[in-house]
Chains A and B, each alone.
Chain A
Amino acid sequence: MGNRIVLHATLLLAILCFPAIIFAQPKPNPCLPPNVAEGQRRLTDYIEQRICENLKARVVQTDPTKQSAPPAAAANSTSLVERSSAPDLLGLGLDFLNLSDVAGGKKSATPKTLTFSAYALKSALSSEDPLDPEIYNKNAKWRSVSFTVGYDVPENTNTREPIVGIKWLAYNGRDVGTSANQTEIGKIQAALDNSAIGFSKIRGDVRLYLFALLQKRAQLPAGVTITTLTDFNDNVVSDPTKFESILKALSDDEKKNIDAIVAKNISAFATLDADTKNAVKTIRTRPQLALAFTTTQRNGKRPDEYSGVLTFDKGMGTNSITMNGSFIFKKSPTGKDSKGGQFAAAVHLPLQAFKPLGYTDPVLFSLEANATGMTGVAPVYKAQAKLTIPLMPGVEIPISVSVANRTEFIKEKEVKGKFGFTFDISKALKAFRDGFQKRE
């Protein structure tokens, strides 16, 4: 009992500390290219920086329904509810610490699953570039199928029990290649055209302003010589050292004059920003429907499990809801088979206040519940609260606390804590991590 209290206290501490740890990381200037520091800017970089500073609203990427965690069929999964899609290429789900497991330090095995798409397999075998837009769009059917392999480790044991699954995304409203989404794509392209025109105007006006300004200067910035406009264009504003020297020599009023040129043309960028956000939101909230089959082959006298799951996802603003309906069959080696069904639902709420890495997936709070009825067993009800903390693109830590009536074994309520780790290689490798193609 004492151990359990300590474990629960550890879980609570982890939940409280992780956001703080993430917040403590130094933040780079989001208005500079990641590999261009202050002091290495060219005119183009400086203008982008000033445009960025002018645009206050930023997109909040909220696609909370992509699942890299083990399937919910695994007893140790950090998810109660199966979601409609898998990672685009490859996903790895680990359950590092089951806080209710009394085996504790003696435990040598932890549950692991690997999820990969048929498209990833086809690309690997055919040596095709999966990032080729033509190939990507041509293979929507291959992208709709994914496989999961791995093993579950029942509580208080070191037994590895194989899990195999297949999932078919029968309807994917979020595929950017579908005709229904072309209107949204068209809006972004049109806004991009106008922003390119706007950028050319700003750059031209700022360039001529600086040239005229420096021509009047009695003392030029260090390392800068002013001869012809052509020389200024070709050799001064495009040279980071010379351009930074010019920036250092500008007065506050002169910088404000540049900002005024930017502000005069900012509407094109505000429109691009808004249209892109709206398109992302519209496409990401479209419904998805998936059908999955999973089996867990148990050892010893434990029954093998087979389940067919129908999953529906729908975005609602920045939130999303997932619902599952499952048929479950348990084949017991003792001949006492059972069958039944499960209904599960989850609401995923991005915590808008938590944006530790800016536009990466936000810290996500999920409320999940399921009810399972099997022949010969009293119904089991489970509920779970889960916090999914993104560490970096593609790497997340799910921490969950669940309660269950646990009537299948004893007449008492059970509280579990879990601490997992998910790795979505497609995100981490930037493969297919576009704003729309997060197929759920």
Chain B
Amino acid sequence: MANDQPAASNICKKTRRVLLGGVQVDDGQHLHYSVTVDGSKPMFSLACRHKKHFNAADLGPPKKNYDVVWPRSSADEPSPDGEDYTFSMSFAAALKYTLVVELHDATHNRVGVGVIVDADYESENPVALCNEAFVIRTP
């Protein structure tokens, strides 16, 4: 199918191995974000509707592998119904991102649903839109 050609899209190509619609993060738990990048200058951002939670610039000089612990306390306030969180990526100076989001306990072991996202995002279009989103519940 012609649709297989990444060069013809204004949206990034998404290869989702795992994508859950939502996750509940309880006391003592955290989300562990692993981001792997191909390219020269990674630019990504995680945000809820109220604020940015982290971005590539916050995490130091460009590198291939980023590991970010997102504690439950990072949420603005308890949200039992859940809030949408979006991980946005720019392909202005990158070619591929691999995002893995896992639910961990305080000792950094996977718990509960385990993997929330495990996916690759690719584009050769510097202005391609590329977002992944899911709901985080923090009772």
Contact = CB atoms under 8 A, between A and B. Distances in A.
Interface of A: 25-37, 42-45, 47-49, 51-52, 55, 58-59, 61, 129, 131-137, 176-177, 185-186, 188-189, 192-193, 195-197, 199-201, 203-204, 207, 229-230, 233-239, 269, 272-273, 276-277, 279-280, 357-360, 392-393, 427, 430-437
Contact of A238 (B20, B39, B47): B20
15 contacts: A28-B9, A29-B9, A35-B13, A36-B14, A61-B125, A176-B40, A192-B90, A234-B22, A280-B92, A358-B7, A434-B39, A434-B92, A434-B95, A435-B93, A437-B93
Given A28-B2, A133-B37, A199-B131, A230 B126 contact: no
A35 B7 contact: no
B125 A59 contact: yes
Nearest to B129: A48
Contacts of A49: 11
B10 interface: yes
B97 to A, nearest CB: 11
B105 interface: no
Nearest to A88: B40
Contacts of B84: 199-201, 203-204, 207
B19 A238 contact: yes
Contacts of B137: 230
A230 B22 contact: yes
Given A34-B5, A200-B47, A137 B62 contact: yes
A239 B50 CA distance: 26
B14 A193 contact: no
Contacts of B110: none
A90 to B, nearest CB: 16
A434 B96 CA distance: 10
B127 interface: yes
B115 interface: no
B77 interface: no
Given A132-B64, A134-B64, A197 B11 contact: no
B88 A195 contact: yes
A437 B4 CA distance: 25
B129 A133 contact: no
Interface residues of B, number: 70
Contacts of B90: 188-189, 192, 272, 276
Nearest to A29: B3
A40 to B, nearest CB: 11
Contacts of B37: 133
B81 A229 contact: yes
Given A35-B15, A52-B10, A189-B56, A238 B21 contact: yes
B106 interface: no
Contact of A200 (B20, B41, B85): B85
Nearest to A44: B133
A34 B40 contact: no
Contacts of B132: 44
A276 B127 contact: yes
B31 interface: no
A398 B137 CA distance: 56
B9 A32 contact: yes
B45 A193 contact: yes
Interface string B101-139: 000000000000000000000101111010111110100
- The 6 A-B pairs at the shortest CB distance, nearest first, are namely A238-B21, A435-B126, A196-B47, A133-B62, A196-B88, A131-B38
Given A192-B88, A234-B20, A359-B125, A28 B82 contact: no
